[in-house]
Each structure stands twice: as structure tokens, then as C-alpha cells.
Amino acid sequence: MSFLDLFRRKKPLDEAARREMLLRKGRITEGVILDHAINAQGEVSEIFYFYSVSGSDYESSQKLNDEQRKRSVNYAPGTHVTVRYDPGKPGNSIVV
């Protein structure tokens, strides 16, 4: 690694790589579903959630994958969910 490599911007992860990284290395906290969006087929397709890390509050959203859409009753507003977040960037998170 050269000296200049320290200053180069890192390529952002694609969604699949980001999800894999969070599942492998992410810390766990509890979150609460705030709301959800329903697609044209009447399925829950996106969720909006809230969680806290070290006294800071975060709100985020996530499109549900096929497996999660099968369990859409688990994502009703007010439901407690498990959130995995990046300890270096707590705003980077997913619901598992």
C-alpha cells in the first residue's frame, strides 16, 4: 500500500455487500418500526424504523427482501425489531 492509498476514497459497497458486512460485523441493538409502505400487490415492501446507539437516535428505512416480505406481520408499526449497525457509522444499519 502506498502513502497515497491512505487518501483515496473507498468505493461504496453495493447493497448486497453492505448487508453481508452488517450481518457479519454489525453490532446489535433494538429498534421500533415506525411505519411501512405497501406496494401495488398489497405487500409490505419498505419499512421505516427508529433505534438508539450511545444516546443518539437514528431513523432509517429499508426495502424488504423476499424472505422478509413473507414475514410482513413482523413489521407492523410499533413492533420491536433487531437492528444491526456499523459501529464506525451507526447510521448504516439493517433490520434482521
For residue 62, tell me if it sits in a domain: yes
pTM for this model (two decimals): 0.83
Reported as a single tens digit per residue, the pLDDT across 4-26 is: 666 766 667 788 899 999 999 99
Are 74 and 44 contacting, i.e. CB atoms less than 8 angstroms apart? no
Binned at pLDDT 50, 70 and 90, residue 65 comes out as very high
CA–CA separation, 10 and 2 (whole Å) = 14
CA–CA separation, 25 and 53 (whole Å):
16
Helix H or strand E encompassing 67:
helix 66-70
Average pLDDT across the chain, whole number: 91
Range of the domain at 46: 27-95
Q: For the chain, what is the domain count? A: 1
Amino acid 1: pLDDT? 55
Classify residue 22 as left (phi > 0), alpha (psi -120 to 50) or beta.
alpha
Phi then psi for residue 14, to 5 deg, are: -75, 170
CATH number for the domain harbouring residue 66: 2.40.50
Distance separating alpha carbons of residues 45 and 68, to the nearest angstrom:
9
